[in-house]
Structure 1
Amino acid sequence: MAILHSHLFLLFSLTSTCLLCAFGLVVTESYSHVVKVSSLQPPTICSAPKGSNHHHHEHQKGMLKLKHRYGPCSPFGRRTPLQNLKQDESRVYSLQSRFKQARVKKTTTSTLPAHLGTSLSTGNYIVTIGLGTPSSEMSVVFDTGSDLTWIQCQPCTQCYAQQDPIFNPSNSSTYHNIPCSSPDCSQLSSATGSPTGCSSSTSCLYSTSYADGSSSNGFFARDTLSLTPSDVFPNFTFGCGQQNNGLFGTTAGLLGLGRNGLSLVSQTAKQYGGIFSYCLPTTSSSTAGYLKFGAAASNASSVKFTPLLKNPNAPSSFYFLQMVGISVGGQALNITPSTFAAPGTIVDSGTIITRLPMSAYAVLRSTFREFMSNYTMAPAYQIFDTCYDFSGLDTVNIPTIVLHFGGNVNVDVGMTGILYFPTQTQNCLAFAANTDPTDLTIIGNRQQRTLQVVYDLKSNKIGFGPGGCM
Structure 2
Amino acid sequence: MIMASAVLHRGAQFSAFFGTVAQVLLIAVALAASPRRLGVTAAGAEMRTSSPGPNWHVVSVASLLPAAVCTPSTAGSNSTVLNVVHRHGPCSPLQSRGGAPPHIQVLDHDQTRVDSIHRKIGTASTVLDQADRAAKGVSLPARRGISLGTGNYVVSVGLGTPARDMTVVFDTGSDLSWVQCAPCSDCYEQKDPLFDPAQSKTYSAVPCAAPECQGLDSHSCSRDKKCRYEVVYGDQSQTDGDLARDTLTLGTPSNTLQGFVFGCGDKDTGLFGKTDGLVGLGREKVSLSSQAAAKFGAGFSYCLPSSPSGVGYLSLGRSAPGNAQFTTMATRRDTPSFYYVNLVAVKVGGRTVRISPVVFSSAGTVIDSGTVITRLPPRAYAALRTAFTRSMGRYRYKKAPALSILDTCYDFTGHTTVRIPSLALVFAGGTTVELDFSGVLYVAKASQACLAFAPNGDGTDVGILGNTQQKTLAVVYDVANQKIGFGANGCS
Q: Pick the TM interval, shorter chain.
A: 0.7 to 0.9
Provide the residue aligned with 1:96 in structure 2: 118
> What is the deviation of 1:378?
1.4
SS in 2 for 1:411: strand
* Pairing 1:150–2:178 present: yes
Equivalent in 76, 84, 91 of residue 66 of structure 1: 84
Provide the residue aligned with 2:202 in structure 1: 174
* Partner AA of 1:199 in structure 2: S
Aligned pairs (5 A) from 1:85-164: 85-108=107-130, 115-164=143-192
> What is the deviation of 1:296?
2.4
Provide the residue aligned with 1:423 in structure 2: 445
Equivalent in 212, 215, 220 of residue 184 of structure 1: 212
The CA distance in 2 between the partners of 1:66 and 1:361, in whole Å, is: 30
Does the Cα contact within 8 Å between 1:12 and 1:33 map onto a contact in 2? no
Unaligned segments of structure 2, at least 5 residues: 1-33, 37-52, 133-139
Q: Following TM superposition, where does structure 1 have runs of at least 4 consecutive aligned residues deviating by more than 3 angstroms?
A: 112-115
> What is the deviation of 1:201?
0.5
Provide the residue aligned with 2:312 in structure 1: 289
How many residues get paired? 429
* Partner AA of 1:303 in structure 2: A
Provide the residue aligned with 1:4 in structure 2: none
* Pairing 1:466–2:488 present: yes
SS in 2 for 1:428: strand
* Pairing 1:207–2:230 present: yes
> What is the deviation of 1:424?
3.3
Provide the residue aligned with 1:327 in structure 2: 347
> What is the deviation of 1:48?
4.0
Provide the residue aligned with 1:7 in structure 2: none
Provide the residue aligned with 1:222 in structure 2: 245
The CA distance in 2 between the partners of 1:209 and 1:250, in whole Å, is: 18
The CA distance in 1 between the partners of 2:438 and 2:233, in whole Å, is: 29
TM-score, with length taken from structure 2: 0.84
Does the Cα contact within 8 Å between 2:142 and 2:216 map onto a contact in 1? no
Does the Cα contact within 8 Å between 2:359 and 2:459 map onto a contact in 1? no
Equivalent in 284, 308, 316 of residue 329 of structure 2: 308
Does the Cα contact within 8 Å between 1:82 and 1:422 map onto a contact in 2? no
* Partner AA of 1:272 in structure 2: F
* Partner AA of 2:380 in structure 1: A
SS in 2 for 1:217: strand
* Pairing 1:337–2:357 present: yes
The CA distance in 2 between the partners of 1:276 and 1:407, in whole Å, is: 22
SS in 2 for 1:277: strand
> What is the deviation of 1:177?
1.0
SS in 2 for 1:211: coil
Provide the residue aligned with 2:369 in structure 1: 349
The CA distance in 2 between the partners of 1:263 and 1:47, in whole Å, is: 30
> What is the deviation of 1:186?
1.1
Equivalent in 63, 70, 79 of residue 47 of structure 1: 70
Higher helix share: 2
> What is the deviation of 1:230?
2.3
SS in 1 for 2:379: helix
Query: 380-389 or 415-424: which moved more?
Result: 415-424
TM-score, with length taken from structure 1: 0.88
- The superposition leaves residues 142-191 of structure 1 with CA deviations (integer Å, 9 ceiling, x where unpaired) of 000000001100110011111111100111111111111111111112xx
The CA distance in 1 between the partners of 2:452 and 2:193, in whole Å, is: 37
Call closer, same or farther: CA 1:268–1:113 in 2, change over 3 Å: closer
The CA distance in 1 between the partners of 2:191 and 2:430, in whole Å, is: 44
SS in 2 for 1:372: helix
Does the Cα contact within 8 Å between 1:450 and 1:468 map onto a contact in 2? yes
The CA distance in 2 between the partners of 1:30 and 1:49, in whole Å, is: 29
The CA distance in 2 between the partners of 1:385 and 1:98, in whole Å, is: 26
The CA distance in 2 between the partners of 1:207 and 1:37, in whole Å, is: 46
Please tell me whether Structure 1 or Structure 2 has the larger radius of gyration of its CA atoms.
Answer: 2
Provide the residue aligned with 2:30 in structure 1: none
SS in 2 for 1:243: strand
Provide the residue aligned with 2:467 in structure 1: 445
Provide the residue aligned with 1:262 in structure 2: 286
SS in 1 for 2:216: helix
The CA distance in 2 between the partners of 1:168 and 1:276, in whole Å, is: 29
* Pairing 1:399–2:417 present: no
> What is the deviation of 1:234?
1.1
Provide the residue aligned with 1:371 in structure 2: 391
CA RMSD of aligned residues (A): 2.0
SS in 1 for 2:429: coil
